[in-house]
Amino acid sequence: MKRILLILTGGTIASVETEQGLRPGISEEELRESLSGITDFCQVEILSLLNVDSTNIQPEHWQMIVQAIEKRFDCYDGFVITHGTDTMAYTAAALSYMIQNPHKPVVITGAQKPLVKTVTDARKNLRDSFRFACEENVNGVFLIFNGEVILGTRARKVRSKSFNAFDSINYPIVAFIDNDRVIRYVDISGDSGPTSFYSHLVPKVFLLKLVPGITPDILDYISDHYEAVVIESYGVGGIPFADERNFLEKLECLNRKKCIVVIATQVMLEGSDVELYEVGFRAMSRYHLLQAYDMTTEAIVAKLMWLLGKCNDFESFQKEFYTPVSCDLLRCE
């Protein structure tokens, strides 16, 4: 029988009702009772690591999760992490950079309704995750929800209430779990490279969403306090340069301060192509900027935190940023 480590971090899946709303607090006994019917095909050990609503998840928690896995890596065939859904896509992306080429499944899952409720998606999501964690020839970090297996670098929460809460962005769902059958659509056996763990992150990444009317002085604050900024602009990507709201001069300051800038898009699907319009071309041709292409915002944020700990100059940063990790980036010309 395969040995799987279940790592608990909290979230709705582990929540109980309180007078102040849902809060993670399921008892170990209730958890074991719920697991008994859904893990009959594997041997599960439990590590209670955190007990937080995922709104409170921080990069330091990602480091804790990665260290917990690294320490026990050789003792298990697969890992299942339960987590709140709200920031799960960020955690899935972060773990994809921090645990590369695990050559075994690292799965993250959660639920929209608590495990202790009669009507819940928790049981299915857990069973699917354990089923997938027992698979052979799986290499990577995956988010499993509503029967779908999504690459950790491609997940996004797209519904706040329904059971089909997650989508795979700009990449196919890699597998589907139909009861006890895992149907693979994409080769997920990965490359044969060695397993690498990274625990150093620099969380000084800011995400700025442009809206009509925003003024460029916000970038002064950002570049004084952060080492990288993702500018979620519009469409295929552009930077406003009209009149008193001209962002271009500020990009020059960001370059001088060595603050990394990534132009991304608010549009969920299909990604950026910043040089297509003059509004993007002007910025890209004058300054040292990176663009998102087909990467998700969650993956960009996590990749920047990982690379800020690794690269010292723009050229090496650019090279590493555009080097795909766990299929986070396909289109990059």
Contact segment (CB under 6 A) with ligand ASP among 47-55, 212-220, 232-240, 284-292 equals 47-55
Nearer to ligand ASP, 112 or 272 (CB): 112
Q: How far out from the chain centre does Cα 1 lie? A: 30
| Closest to ligand ASP by CB, 54 or 272 | 54
Question: Minimum distance between the CB of residue 302 and ligand ASP, rounded to whole angstroms?
Answer: 17
Coil, strand, or helix at residue 232?
A: strand
> How many helices and strands in the chain, by DSSP H and E?
9, 18
* Residues 51-110 contacting ligand ASP, CB under 6 A: 53-55, 84-86, 110
Q: Going by C-beta distance under 8 Å and a sequence separation of 6 or more, which residues neighbour residue 24?
A: 10, 11, 14, 15, 16, 51, 52, 53, 84
Site for ligand ASP in 11-40 (CB under 6 A): 11-12
Nearest-10 Cα torsion for 20, 21, 22, 27: 30
Q: Which two tokens stand for residue 325?
A: 């990790």
Query: Which residue number, 10 or 237, has a Cβ lying nearer to ligand ASP?
Result: 10
11 versus 152: smaller Cβ distance to ligand ASP: 11
119, 141 in Cβ contact below 8 A? no
CA distance 166 to 160: 9
CA distances from 22 to 55, 183, 197, 312 (A): 13, 34, 34, 43
Region 112-131 residues binding ligand ASP, contact defined as CB under 6 A: 112
For residue 328, the minimal CB distance to ligand ASP (Å) is 23
Nearer residue to ligand ASP within complex by CB, 110 or 203: 110
Q: Which of the 8 DSSP states describes residue 75?
A: G
Annotate 236-250 with DSSP letters as a single string: T-----SGGG--HHH
| Alpha-carbon span 152 to 20, nearest angstrom | 32
Q: How far is the CB of 190 from ligand ASP (least distance, A)?
A: 28
Stretch that binds ligand ASP, among 48-56, 141-149, 247-255, 282-290 (CB under 6 A): 48-56
Q: Which token pair is 310?
A: 């690794």
12 included as an active-site residue: yes
Nearest approach in angstroms of CB 321 to ligand ASP is 28
- The yes or no reply on residue 146 touching ligand ASP (CB under 6 A) is no
Catalytic-role residue among 9, 12, 87, 91: 12
Which residue lies nearer to ligand ASP by CB, 53 or 232? 53
Q: Stretches 25-33, 49-57, 219-227, 320-328: which one binds ligand ASP (CB under 6 A)?
A: 49-57
State CA 20 to chain mean position distance. Answer: 29
Taking CB atoms, the residue at the shortest distance from ligand ASP is: 84
Dihedral (Cα; 119, 122, 128, 131), 10-degree rounding? -120
What's the min distance (Å) between Cβ of 169 and ligand ASP?
A: 19
| C-beta separation of 93 from 87 below 8 A | no
Restricted to residues 248-267, the positions that interact with ligand ASP (CB under 6 A) are: none
In the complex, minimum distance from the CB of residue 111 to ligand ASP, in angstroms, rounded to a whole number: 6
Question: Which residue numbers are catalytic?
Answer: 12
Residues that bind ligand ASP (CB under 6 A): 11-12, 53-55, 84-86, 110, 112
